[in-house]
Structure 1
Amino acid sequence: MIHIIDEKTDDILAVLSEADFFNDEYYEDLKAVETFKFFMPANHSKAGFLTSRRRIVIPGEDGEFKEFILTEPYLINNTKEFYTMGSFVDLRKQKVIDPIVLDGQTPSTAGDYVLSGTRWQIGIVEFTGLMTVEFTEPLDAYEAIKTVAQLFGLELRFRVEVAGSKVVARYVDMIQRRGELSGKEVVFGKDIEGIERRETAGELVTALKCYGPVRDDGTRLMVIVEDQEAFQKWNDEGRHLWGIYEPQTENTDMTEARLRSLGQTELAKRVTPQIQYSLKTIALEHVYGYEHEKVRLGDTNRVKDEDKNPPIYLEARVLSVKRSIKNRSRKEVEYGDFIEYSKEDVQAEWKVLRAQFRERLKKAKEDALSYTEEYAYSKAVIDTKDASVYADSTIY
């Protein structure tokens, strides 16, 4: 269902049941983009509640709530179309952070500084260290909280809390990693309807000319980094495939060692063709008997398609989710951050796991035998006890 929220009081004004709307689509990705759209008959009695800037709340997949701001209501013939965005984006309009240096900050204290005076507050934080947080230019609160999360290497999650007929709290969580390393296998023919593999070599190089920032005197540091293994594989009749690299920094005092290190890191990304996969998956968790097959944003799964030649074995992360809150079986998942494995890699890992299992089984048997020998009687002792018990019984 959809709760319609008063944008000023946070009270629930009306509730839309699943029969009241259609063609709904929720979208979320790891870049903090969250949208929701749905359609209603233009003459519906509750359509009048849905005006610009009005807020709505929908259920998440695990009991949480998501809040959105209505940005684009359309009337097309006899249908009203409603397009919304995550209400956290409104942080752009709630506060501006002036340039400042905050020493000895945790994500919680820096987040509190950014969010104070807004509708949002810091929720769950998975980090305990201290760092200096510096805002070098004016930022709105939304960009500032993203900057804090990036500085501490955390990912953002936005959620609201509903009690009775009111939204009572809005939280920004900063966590180490969204999703789980579930180990779930996504298999062609079961979870996967289609899989595409694209390999592009347009950006491939074997050497880089690296240029540092322009110094005060107008000169620039330049170093060359090369990859001999890539050169042997990709060279053009004995010539390097060249590229240019300029690190995005204003540090005019950059040393040659630092520039070379940055260049080598960049070159490592460009010495092999870029490989991309596109998957179309099926949501099985809402099918009876497949409840354990759930997939969430940020999860890392294993992808397998053994019908291809050569077979495809991947480890990949869920980058975005598109689903319906009305028809829960309608769900699309986009994967990225792929790590490819060969069949030999998979078989080698299986052998290691099998050896570990055998070792554990052997130890379990040894432990059971040791326990039996310590607490159980041998056959000879049992026979003796049988005889003594029989003798005692004749006396009685």
Structure 2
Amino acid sequence: MALINDYLYVLDPHYQVVGLLSNQLENACPYYDDEHVEKLKHGFLTLEFTVPAKHIKSILLQENGFILYPNLDWKMELFQIKEMIDTSKGDLYCFCENAAVPDLLSNIVRPVSLPSQTLEQAMNYILQGTGWELGTVEYVGVQDFVFKDYPTSLAALHKIMDQYEAEVEFRADFQGLRLKRKYVNVYRKRGQVTGKIFSYGRDLVEVKRTRDTKDLVTALIGIGKDEGDGSILTFQDYTPPDNFKYEKNEDWVGSIESLQRWRRNGKHIFGVYKDESATNPAELYQNTVKELDKRSRPKVTYQMSVLLLERLIGQQCRLGDEIIVKDHSFTPELAIRGRVTEKKSSKTSVDPQQNQVILGGV
């Protein structure tokens, strides 16, 4: 049976460990109704839990204090307590966000132009003054960056992740009872191709399929960066190679197949794609086509209630993993491969509704 660390370490607002929450230790303050949420997009993290308000050690939980959360790989995630609610039932509810969020929100990146930056160079620049440092970083080429309008370090990080199409995670290291460092790991792609199969009737309890067309377009106008003379880079005068899948007209490109299926009043559904990384019309056109491929079909996601068998037989399921889902209750039978883009889990509950994964495209 795989070991599950149910400890939640309690820190004061100065990062000093002052106690812990646990349902395994006799004298520790217990907790329940916990939910840990992680999303692949921008490394989103939240944590919420409830403790008995009258427990003598519940007083260790403070506004703007911290929770050190050991994940299933025994890596530490740092959360800051942002909301505390006392109830008439004697419960104390705590909502926590990724501790990097307030740190990065309170730091401003001055307007700057950064040509030919590696991911490592760009990240080191925007993390200055935040208290967070760069850990593992994978090479994904070079990009030009222009920061305007005094963005926060958090907004700048999101821009970097989007432009490089990279994925981020936040971690913390402690030595004894004191914080050693807070750091950010950046990968080309998180997770692994595990081939793990979730099957209905075994570890798959329920599947909900969502098909979303709210942001669907069949054509995109491509807009690049300011050329410096008051004009904006476009591909209006660019002639792409012949391709039966797309039609190009002036400053836009459309999907012929999507037009036939999704056209509105016989016309394209237009959107605008802004690309500040492209340096010439050909590159802008190629990037716009790539974006069109994503946005010219419905966004399909699968929300699954699962039994996390890692607790029983050590089978792992991590954010970013590529997995397989089989459900014979669908007609026709559902058999899909996708990535875990969101995961909800609980250290204290075995209720499948508290252990869910959201499956997106590969």
TM-score w.r.t. length of structure 1: 0.71
Matched, 1:21 2:36: no
2:131 matches 1:119: yes
Contact conserved, 1:30 with 1:297, CA < 8 A, in 2? yes
How large is the Cα RMSD of the aligned pairs?
3.5
SS of aligned partner of 1:69: strand
Distance 2:357 2:56 in 1: 37
User: Amino acid of the residue matched to residue 279 of structure 1?
Assistant: M
Once residues 348 and 45 of structure 2 are traced to their aligned partners in structure 1, the CA distance between those partners, rounded to angstroms, is 18
Report the Cα offset of residue 108 of structure 1. 2.5
Q: Structure 1 residues 336 and 17 mapped into 2: Cα distance closer, same or farther (>3 Å)?
A: closer
Aligned residues: 329
Q: How far, CA to CA, are the matches of 1:327 and 1:250 in structure 2?
A: 46
What is the aligned partner in structure 2 of residue 334 from structure 1? 357
1:115 positional shift: 1.9
2:240 corresponds to: none
For residues 127-170 of structure 1, the C-alpha deviation after alignment (integer angstroms, 9 at most, x for no partner) is 17444333123121222233333333321110111221112111
Q: Mapping of 1:232-381 within 5 angstroms?
A: 240-248=266-274, 268=293, 275-287=300-312, 290-291=313-314, 293-327=315-349, 331-338=354-361
Task: Map 1:84-233 onto structure 2 (within 5 A).
Answer: 84-127=96-139, 129-199=141-211, 208=219, 210=221, 223=250
The Cα of 1:174 is off from its aligned counterpart by 0.8
For residue 103 of structure 1, report the CA deviation from its aligned partner: 3.7
- 1:36 counterpart letter in structure 2: L
Secondary structure at the residue paired with 1:113?
Answer: helix
Tell me, in whole angstroms, the C-alpha distance in 2 between the residues paired with 1:329 and 1:22.
Answer: 13
Distance 1:308 1:79 in 2: 41
Task: Tell me the residue number matched to 2:12.
Answer: 6
Q: Deviations over 1:151-192 (max 9, x none)?
A: 333211101112211121111111111111111111111121
Name the CA distance, whole Å, in 1 between partners of 2:162 and 2:222.
Answer: 26
Amino acid paired to 2:35: E
**CA 243–226 in structure 1, closer or farther in 2 if over 3 Å, else same:** same
Report the counterpart of residue 384 of structure 1 in structure 2: none
Q: Counterpart of 1:37 in structure 2: which amino acid?
A: E
**What is the aligned partner in structure 1 of residue 64 from structure 2?**
53
**AA of the residue aligned to 1:246:** V
Asked whether 1:65 is paired with 2:76, we answer yes
SS of match in other structure, 1:110:
helix
Q: CA deviation at 1:320?
A: 1.2
Long gaps (5+) in structure 2: 1-6, 24-28, 237-248
**Cα displacement string for residues 290-341 of structure 1 (whole angstroms, at most 9, x for unaligned residues):** 21x21111111011123433221111111111112234776523333246xx
The verdict on how the C-alpha distance between 1:164 and 1:281 changes in structure 2, with shifts beyond 3 A counting, is same
CA distance in 2, matches of 1:56, 1:235: 50
- Spell out, residue by residue over 1:36-55, the C-alpha distance to the aligned partner (whole angstroms, 9 max, x if none): 11111221111222121111
Inter-CA distance 333–164: structure 2 relative to 1 (3 Å threshold): same
The answer to whether the Cα contact below 8 Å between 2:140 and 2:188 also exists between their aligned partners in 1 is no
- The answer to which of 222-231 and 59-68 deviates more is 222-231
Contact 1:208 1:243 in 2 (8 A): yes
Among residues 54, 60, 74, which one is paired with 2:85 in the alignment? 74
CA–CA separation in structure 1 for the residues paired with 2:97 and 2:32: 18
In structure 1, stretches of 5+ residues that fail to align are 340-396
Q: How far does residue 248 in structure 1 lie from its aligned partner after superposition?
A: 3.3
> Residue type matched to 2:10 in 1?
I
Structure 1 match to 2:49: 38
Q: What is the identity, as a one-letter code, of the residue corresponding to 1:303?
A: V
Q: Kindly tell me: are residues 271 and 83 of structure 1, through their superposed partners in 2, closer, same or farther at Cα, counting changes over 3 Å? A: closer
Mark the CA change 1:229 to 1:140 in structure 2 (over 3 Å): closer, same or farther.
closer
Structure 1 residues 157 and 307: CA distance shift in structure 2, 3 A? same
How many angstroms apart in 1 are the aligned matches of 2:140 and 2:253? 38
More helix by share: 1
Change (3 A) 1:79 1:298: same
CA distance in 2, matches of 1:124, 1:46: 37
Pair 329,90 (structure 1): closer, same or farther in 2 beyond 3 Å: same
CA contact (8 A) 1:314 1:338 kept: no
User: Matches of 1:67 and 1:56 in 2, distance apart?
Assistant: 6
1:98 maps to amino acid: R
The 3 A distance-change label for structure 1 pair 172 and 269 is: closer
Distance 2:167 2:101 in 1: 16
Secondary structure of 1:280's aligned partner: strand
In the alignment, the residues of structure 2 paired with residue 44 and residue 93 of structure 1 have an alpha-carbon distance, to the nearest angstrom, of 34
Contact 1:157 1:172 in 2 (8 A): yes
CA, structure 1 residues 228+88, in 2 after alignment: closer, same or farther (shift >3 Å)?
Answer: closer
